[in-house]
């Protein structure tokens, strides 16, 4: 796929919203997915849809953070000697702006490709389930890979009469025809897509650092027998890496060292250019050079927030109001692997975009929606094209994120580059998307509430991992 085709899908598939039906429908939870461009629609229509989704999306982030939870999870267990990892690669080969992991669910294990999403706390897969008296269990999941719970000896539906269903599970419905009926969920998305099904406890097979297989038991997963929408065509569901009691990340890190890490390859990398999502100790975080480090704010479930002191361009700190970075003032910043473009609240966007544009003044401008600043690179003077402005995000505690220029001056089409940041309304939260995170190793230390990161080439070629049925 050409950079033009991919970027068009990227900007036309900006984040959309998951709205819940049922008893907790007022507690909105943002789902940071991407959808493919709708067939038959014009570019203008797609751009208008993008901006509508952005406006609604930011309103929902603000609402979600306004309802933030301050309860803490149970104490983490002591870290064991082992860790485990999952291959992680860009979804560009599918025309998708997400990052995918390989996941093995059930006993015996069934293989799936899931979106790695730090903005979501629910892990769910497309599923074919038949249960008496369950109206959401009649259909079958869409796609070539579908989970078959009837062949998994570890699959246990969560009853709708349980306290977990009533108080802890996101988007569970109030209906409970019988005490033993399963707890059902209903996700509704801003473009009409949906994912509905039942909650269950299930186990997953992971590969330890010593090469052996082990089970992670009592995971909370969604078995979706009714998922529709183009957003789900490229994957089999979502791996919830968000911060909450039910997320895969929380359950896995409680057993494996209280931390997880990932290294995102260049988002335009081919399918075989992969790195890993790792749970537990990862030697590369500390060697050969020490990482940068900042506080990880875990009070805004399910999001991971960080403190920002400011943004500089070519060494000059920009005049951005401090309230933009202050959660208590309606601002703040979250780090999200399910969002591609970096989104800055309006005062920050205006300062950053203007500063970058001034330093690119020697390159002819072109128009390309929805970006405000795009440049004709085919006619760019050699000196200007090589000496791109240096943008640095200064995080709290003197930790600086210094992304490569290609992460914020991005390829938008053949011979065209654009500033890969977009504005969001103020007040509102800013989001560091996965393109700005690429070619960095990130460690989320949940136990100690620290975020560590460092530059890395990532991009290891990995062969397909299989699970021996005799071990499952």
- The residues assigned a catalytic role are 117, 336
Cβ-count burial 12-29 (b if 16+ within 10 Å, e if not)? bbbbbbbbbeeebeeebb
Helices then strands, each counted (H, E), the chain: 7, 29
End-to-end CA separation in angstroms for the chain: 37
CB-CB contact of 230 with 117 (8 Å)? no
> How many residues does the structure list for the chain?
472
E strand intervals along 190-322: 194-208, 213-228, 237-240, 259-263, 273-279, 292-297, 304-306, 308-313, 316-317
E strand intervals along 84-193: 84-90, 99-105, 110-117, 123-126, 156-157, 184-189
User: Residue 271 has which token pair?
Assistant: 């399918």
User: Residue 393 has which token pair?
Assistant: 């995000």
User: Residue 283 has which token pair?
Assistant: 């030697």
The angle subtended at Cα 402 by Cα 398 and Cα 407, nearest 5°, is 145
Alpha carbon of 74 to those of 6, 183, 246, 446: distances in Å? 42, 23, 12, 12
- HSE (side-chain half, CA atoms, 13 Å) at 320: 31
User: Residue 39 has which token pair?
Assistant: 């067939």
Helices 3-12 and 43-66, interaxial angle, to 10°?
A: 50
- HSE (side-chain half, CA atoms, 13 Å) at 129: 29
Distance CA 22, CA 174 (A): 6
Q: What is Dmax (Cα atoms) for the chain?
A: 72
DSSP-derived 3-state class of residue 379: helix
């Amino acid at each position: 796929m050409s950079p033009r085709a991919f970027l068009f899908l990227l900007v036309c598939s900006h984040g959309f919203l998951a709205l819940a039906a049922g008893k907790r429908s007022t507690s909105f939870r943002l789902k940071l997915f991407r959808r493919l461009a709708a067939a038959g629609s014009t570019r203008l229509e797609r751009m208008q849809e993008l901006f509508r989704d952005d406006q609604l999306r930011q309103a929902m982030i603000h609402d979600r953070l306004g309802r933030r939870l301050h309860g803490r999870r149970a104490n983490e267990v002591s870290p064991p000697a082992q860790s485990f990892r999952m291959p992680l690669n860009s979804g560009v080969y599918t025309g998708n702006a997400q990052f995918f992991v390989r996941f093995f669910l059930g006993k015996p294990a069934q293989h799936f490709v899931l979106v790695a999403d730090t903005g979501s706390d629910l892990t769910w897969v497309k599923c074919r389930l038949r249960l008496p008296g369950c109206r959401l269990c009649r259909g079958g999941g869409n796609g070539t890979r579908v989970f078959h719970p009837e062949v998994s000896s570890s699959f246990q539906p969560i009853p709708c009469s349980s306290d977990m269903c009533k108080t802890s599970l996101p988007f569970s419905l109030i209906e409970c025809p019988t005490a033993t009926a399963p707890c059902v969920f209903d996700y509704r998305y801003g473009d009409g897509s949906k994912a509905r099904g039942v909650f269950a406890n299930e186990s997953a097979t992971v590969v330890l650092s010593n090469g052996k297989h082990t089970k992670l038991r009592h995971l909370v997963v969604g078995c979706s027998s009714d998922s529709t929408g183009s957003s789900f065509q490229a994957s089999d569901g979502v791996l919830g890496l968000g911060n909450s009691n039910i997320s895969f990340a929380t359950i896995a890190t409680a057993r494996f060292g209280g931390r997880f890490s990932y290294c995102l390859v260049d988002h335009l990398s081919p399918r075989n250019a992969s790195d890993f999502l790792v749970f537990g100790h990862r030697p590369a975080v500390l060697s050969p050079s020490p990482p940068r480090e900042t506080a990880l704010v875990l009070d805004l479930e399910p999001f991971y927030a960080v403190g920002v002191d400011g943004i500089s361009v070519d060494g000059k700190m920009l005049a951005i109001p401090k309230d933009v970075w202050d959660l208590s003032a309606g601002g703040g910043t979250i780090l999200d692997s399910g969002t591609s473009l970096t989104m800055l609240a309006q005062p920050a966007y205006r300062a950053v975009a203007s500063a970058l544009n001034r330093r690119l003044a020697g390159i002819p401008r072109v128009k390309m929606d929805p970006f405000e600043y795009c440049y004709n690179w085919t006619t760019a003077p050699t000196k200007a094209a090589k000496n791109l402005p240096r943008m640095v995000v200064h995080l709290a505690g003197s930790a600086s994120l210094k992304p490569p220029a290609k992460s914020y001056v991005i390829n938008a089409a053949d011979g065209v580059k654009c500033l890969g940041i977009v504005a969001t309304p103020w007040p509102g939260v800013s989001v560091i998307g996965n393109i700005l995170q690429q070619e960095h190793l990130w460690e989320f230390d949940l136990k100690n509430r620290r975020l560590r990161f460092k530059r890395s080439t990532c991009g290891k070629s990995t062969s397909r991992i299989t699970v021996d049925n005799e071990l499952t």
